[in-house]
């Protein structure tokens, strides 16, 4: 039989570790449940809004289109926009920024 003081200290130490682990697992479980409830609530709200025809106008994350025609997103680059030169600056803005007009080199 070991020393009673050593046994008491070991039981106190490992008991504290076990309690800390249980508290961590409990908080982790609460966070997971909270996130699940938020996701289910959002899904339920969107479903009810879609049933009554009141869809949100501006989505924060446009991952799924609920209405509209299929096609590329409006900000998708096209051939014309990638090869076009930038539009010229108005005269007043050109004077304010000091920008010079584009000059093309003379053909040789």
Closest CA to 66 of 37, 42, 44, 46: 46
Q: How many domains are there within the chain? A: 1
- 50 within a domain of the structure (yes/no): yes
Domain-located, residue 77: no
Separation between Cα atoms, residue 107 and residue 14, nearest integer Å: 85
Residue 90 inside a domain? The answer is no
77 backbone dihedrals φ, ψ, rounded to 5°? -70, 145
Look up the pTM and report it: 0.46
Residue 57 within a domain? yes
pLDDT of the chain, 108 residues: tens digit per residue: 578 888 889 999 999 999 999 999 999 999 999 999 999 999 999 888 888 877 766 656 656 666 666 666 666 666 555 555 666 666 666 666 665 666 666 676
User: Is position 88 within any domain?
Assistant: no
Residue 62 lies in a domain: yes
Residue 30 within any structural domain of the chain: yes
Sequence-distant (≥ 6) Cβ neighbours of residue 88 within 8 angstroms: 101
pLDDT tens string 72-93: 666 666 655 555 566 666 666 6
- Rounded CA separation 42/87 (Å): 43
């Amino acid at each position: 039989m070991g020393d009673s003081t050593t046994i008491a200290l070991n039981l106190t130490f490992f008991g504290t570790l076990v309690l800390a682990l249980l508290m961590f697992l409990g908080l982790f479980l609460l966070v997971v449940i909270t996130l699940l409830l938020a996701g289910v609530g959002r899904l339920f709200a969107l479903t009810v809004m879609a049933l009554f025809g009141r869809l949100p106008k501006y989505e924060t994350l446009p991952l799924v289109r609920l209405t509209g025609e299929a096609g590329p997103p409006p900000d998708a680059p096209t051939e014309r926009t990638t090869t076009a030169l930038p539009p010229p600056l108005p005269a007043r803005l050109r004077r304010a920024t000091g920008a010079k007009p584009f000059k093309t080199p003379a053909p040789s």
